[in-house]
Amino acid sequence: MIPPYIKSPSPKRFTLVLDLDETLLHYMEGNVSNNANIVSTPNIANSQSDGTLYIRPGADDFLGTLSQHYEIVIFTAAMKDYADWAIEHMNNSKCISHRLYRQHATPSASGFYIKDLSRLGRDLSRTIIVDNIAENFQLQPENGIFIKSWFTDPSDTALFELAPLLVAIAQSPVGDVRDALKLFRQYMLEQMARGVANPTLHLAQNIRQLLDKHYNKISPKQQPRRLAHQKGLYNK
Ligand SMILES: [Mg+2]
């Protein structure tokens, strides 16, 4: 049997796997503009080229908030030298428990670096991946949240919108994150069919009702964890 990538047990009930480039940050080679998002102009190990690193709006708060509810794992198709350098430029890099790099991804014939969550050593019913390339989580699409690619737009709000959703899942009595994500996908499609321009903005307000409504439909026999949840055992 192949050993899992992460050997230590998770300190948290849930694991959040995050992509790096165009999900949390963006690196652009060469000197660019005087944009306020510029973090630094580095020299990467093994590279002579200077460039600029941009951090996505809300990324540091996102890591800080979500690390209270999830074990945070960065899973990037980038090389280790670059990825470590970029991660260290984030103010909340200490919130990241594990880092996985290109050598952990599985190259596909069509040119993607597939991130196989079954290799992590984590329970897939409690693991979510966020990536700006849906093909990267094609082996476990039901665990994935696609986030739109980010480059340098300072008005981007995707991480601000995503955080309440992920917190609500972690605080919900719903046992399997794949069930919760399925509910959200259905909700988004319904909203879009109704002509709601940006359904994610409405999602945060409705998320708890959505999960509670779903859970209350399940028979009491299937609800042993609900009592534990009400007692606060899972509400950490
Ligand atoms: Mg990416």
Query: Taking the domains of the chain in order of start, what are their residue ranges?
Result: 1-152, 172-236
CA of 147 to the centre of ligand 1 (A): 9
CA of 22 to the centre of ligand 1 (A): 5
CA of 5 to the centre of ligand 1 (A): 20
CA of 86 to the centre of ligand 1 (A): 13
- Whether the CB-CB separation of 130 and 162 falls below 8 Å is answered with yes
CA of 191 to the centre of ligand 1 (A): 27
The CATH H-level superfamily of 1-152 is HAD superfamily/HAD-like (3.40.50.1000)
CA of 161 to the centre of ligand 1 (A): 18
User: Residue written as tokens 């909203």?
Assistant: 191
**Residue 164, class by beta-carbon neighbours within 10 Å (0-12 exposed, 13-18 middle, 19+ buried)?**
middle
Kindly state the percentage of the chain with pLDDT values over 70: 79
CA of 53 to the centre of ligand 1 (A): 14
CA of 139 to the centre of ligand 1 (A): 16
19: left (phi over 0), alpha (psi -120 to 50) or beta: beta
Query: Element (H or E) spanning 181, and its range?
Result: helix 177-193
28 DSSP β-pair partners: 52
- Whether 32 shows a pLDDT value over 60: the answer reads no
**How many C-alpha atoms does 139 have within 13 Å on its Cβ side?**
14
CA of 172 to the centre of ligand 1 (A): 28
Give this prediction's pTM. Answer: 0.84
- Average pLDDT, integer, range 159-166: 92
Could you tell me which residue, 181 or 32, shows the higher pLDDT? Answer: 181
Tell me how crowded residue 102 is: count the other CB atoms within 10 A of its CB. 14
- Whether the CB-CB separation of 163 and 56 falls below 8 Å is answered with no
Say how far apart CA 125 and CA 142 lie, in whole Å.
10
pLDDT tens for 170-224 read 988 878 999 999 988 888 888 888 887 766 656 656 777 777 777 776 555 555 4
Query: Which tokens sit at 144?
Result: 């994935």
- Whether 138 shows a pLDDT value over 80: the answer reads yes
- Give me the active site residues, please: 19, 21
Query: Element (H or E) spanning 190, and its range?
Result: helix 177-193
Say how far apart CA 65 and CA 166 lie, in whole Å.
10
**Which of 48, 50, 53, 21 has its CA nearest to residue 35?**
53
**pLDDT number for residue 48:** 42
